[in-house]
């Protein structure tokens, strides 16, 4: 090697001039530095992994996945859970009779053994239908520049407030209550977005429905084609049970009736029915003779002076009542698998003075309760007889005050504002509008409104025996709408038109499950 090359090599050698011990120490230090670097990188990776795991367990990633896509719009698991829960709730208490177990995952419970359909499949099918309906309506509303009205916003806020009140009643923070009812990914913010979509859809649908009008010619045409549903029928009916009397064995277990016993019971029902017809045709009183049978055969019943529009008459005997040429006093026996019906026709007419809907004012006087009162199955205190009687006296006093005045809707409204315990109407003069026979009030309340001969301005008292609502209602009929047959015809035409319109909006819409759907059910 030349002297110059040797010199250059010595200059480039990092260990040049070091002893063997120094060289060894330097190598050991470098190795330790490399180890520290590796362990530092491993530590950083471990921390990142733990952080990712914690974030995963929090549901951060899952809640942002796509569980459903409807017409190009993605919905998160939380949003889909709202519709999924609504589809499940449609079945209500019936689910328990269907064999559904709320403590088990829906995906693990078979709904249809033949097809293998699970409860998850059943509820998700309903959820998809609801999502398509709401999305198509809300999209159409936004396309026309329609936004939530002030009334709709108030309804959204009221719905959220009701969830909060219910959560507080059961001792839950709101979000914990929502997760319990809808699933892990439901929050107040998600719920609000779902409610806003739903109320926008309902608002748009209602606006369309309200914009439809039908003149008398259209109503008359509908009547001519559907008189069986619109006419009012008056009739008497006695059901005579053909079910064998229940029997038990020595251990108290129910014993299934034999075929011979079932046949004999039906034959007895037919014999009794024919005998009743014969006695009535001979001039005997229908109700008296029918009650003799009812008192003898368990499961039998009798109702006289039924007065229903055709749409409300049982299909078991509606066609017989509606036959052309039917005359007052006609009577027949109609057999069924469970017994016999004896039906007597009294009259059929198109009633003009029955109204289909009404605006009603009321004042609720609730019976007072104390901590000493027992509670019912729902946890509400049950007022004493004395408290109910005191509420009745107070209601009578308020009604007397009204009757002593000018007896106007305005004066009743003032009394409602001062005395009513109903938060839903107190600040509105006790007013509920567009009440029909199917509106969700308790039956005695509706019976008073639609009682035969009821006139605008009528007043009265109705007892409320519902859990948590025991007391008395002071009633005032504010106004009425069209006659029942016109109201029914208008509703039917409007409903058909709205349905066709909604179907046209849904054309092309499809709900497709995404990866996030696995977090449901």
Measuring CA to CA, which residue among 91, 121, 90 is closest to residue 107? 121
**What pLDDT band is residue 31 in, cutting at 50, 70 and 90?**
low
The reported pLDDT for the residue numbered 521 is: 85
Q: How far apart are CA 216 and CA 492, in angstroms?
A: 14
Whether 225 and 310 have beta carbons less than 8 Å apart is answered as no
What average pLDDT does this structure show over 96-122? 93
Q: Give the tens place of pLDDT for each residue, 9-23.
A: 444 444 445 555 554
Confidence check: pLDDT of 467 > 70: yes
Confidence check: pLDDT of 346 > 50: yes
What ranges in 246-304 are assigned the alpha helix state H?
259-281, 286-294
Query: pLDDT exceeding 70 applies to what percent of the chain?
Result: 88
Sheet order of strands, 357-366 included: 431-436, 357-366, 471-480, 459-464
Confidence check: pLDDT of 50 > 70: no
Q: Give the tens place of pLDDT for each residue, 207-256.
A: 999 999 999 999 999 999 999 999 999 999 999 999 998 887 777 787 78
Q: What's the CATH code, domain 357-481?
A: 3.10.50.40
When mean pLDDT is compared across 38-42, 267-271, 509-513, the lowest value belongs to: 38-42
**What pLDDT band is residue 63 in, cutting at 50, 70 and 90?**
confident
**What pLDDT band is residue 410 in, cutting at 50, 70 and 90?**
very high
What average pLDDT does this structure show over 441-458? 93
**Per CATH, which fold does 232-349 belong to?**
Chitinase A; domain 3 (3.10.50)
pTM above 0.95, yes or no: no
DSSP annotation of 380: -
């Amino acid at each position: 090697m030349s002297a110059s090359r040797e010199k250059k090599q010595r200059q480039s050698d990092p260990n040049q001039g070091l002893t063997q011990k120094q060289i060894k120490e330097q190598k050991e230090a470098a190795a330790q530095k490399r180890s520290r670097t590796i362990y530092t990188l491993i530590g950083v990776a471990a921390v990142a992994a733990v952080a990712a795991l914690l974030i995963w367990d929090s549901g951060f990633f899952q809640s942002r996945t796509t569980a459903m896509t409807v017409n190009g719009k993605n919905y998160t698991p939380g949003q889909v859970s709202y519709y999924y829960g609504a589809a499940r709730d449609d079945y209500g208490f019936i689910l328990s009779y269907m064999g559904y177990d709320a403590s088990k995952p829906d995906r693990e419970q078979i709904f249809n053994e033949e097809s293998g359909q699970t409860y998850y499949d059943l509820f998700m099918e309903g959820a998809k239908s609801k999502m398509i309906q709401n999305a198509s309506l809300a999209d159409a509303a936004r396309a026309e520049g329609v936004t939530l009205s002030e009334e709709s916003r108030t309804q959204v806020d009221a719905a959220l407030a009701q969830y909060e009140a219910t959560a507080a009643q059961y001792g839950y923070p709101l979000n914990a209550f929502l997760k319990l009812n809808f699933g892990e990914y439901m929050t107040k913010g998600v719920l609000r977005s779902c409610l806003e979509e739903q109320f926008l859809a309902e608002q748009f649908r209602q606006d369309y429905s309200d914009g439809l009008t039908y003149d008398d010619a259209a109503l008359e045409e509908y009547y001519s084609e559907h008189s069986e549903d619109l006419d009012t029928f008056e009739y008497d009916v006695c059901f005579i049970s053909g079910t064998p009397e229940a029997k038990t064995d020595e251990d108290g277990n129910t014993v299934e009736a034999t075929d011979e016993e079932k046949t004999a019971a039906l034959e007895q029902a037919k014999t009794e029915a024919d005998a009743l017809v014969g006695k009535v045709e001979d001039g005997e009183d229908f109700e008296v003779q029918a009650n003799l049978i009812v008192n003898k055969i368990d499961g039998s019943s009798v109702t006289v002076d039924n007065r229903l529009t055709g749409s409300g008459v049982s299909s078991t005997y509606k066609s017989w009542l509606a036959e052309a040429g039917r005359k007052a006093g006609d009577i027949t026996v109609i057999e069924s698998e469970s017994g016999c019906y004896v039906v007597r026709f009294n009259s059929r007419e198109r009633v003009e003075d029955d109204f289909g809907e009404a605006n009603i004012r009321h004042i609720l006087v609730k019976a007072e309760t104390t901590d000493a009162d027992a509670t019912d199955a729902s946890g509400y205190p049950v007022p004493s007889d004395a408290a109910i009687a005191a509420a009745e006296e107070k209601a009578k006093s308020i009604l007397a005050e009204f009757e002593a005045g000018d007896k106007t809707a305005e004066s009743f409204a003032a009394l409602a504002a001062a005395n009513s315990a109903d938060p839903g109407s107190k600040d509105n003069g006790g007013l509920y509008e567009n009440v029909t026979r199917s509106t969700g009030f308790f039956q005695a309340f509706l019976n008073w409104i639609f009682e035969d001969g009821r006139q605008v301005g009528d007043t009265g008292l109705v007892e409320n025996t519902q859990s948590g609502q025991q007391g008395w209602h002071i009633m005032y009929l504010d106004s009425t709408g069209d006659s029942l047959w016109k109201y029914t015809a208008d509703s039917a035409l409007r409903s058909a038109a709205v349905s066709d319109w909604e179907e046209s909006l849904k054309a092309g819409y499809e709900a497709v499950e995404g990866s996030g759907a696995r977090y449901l059910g």
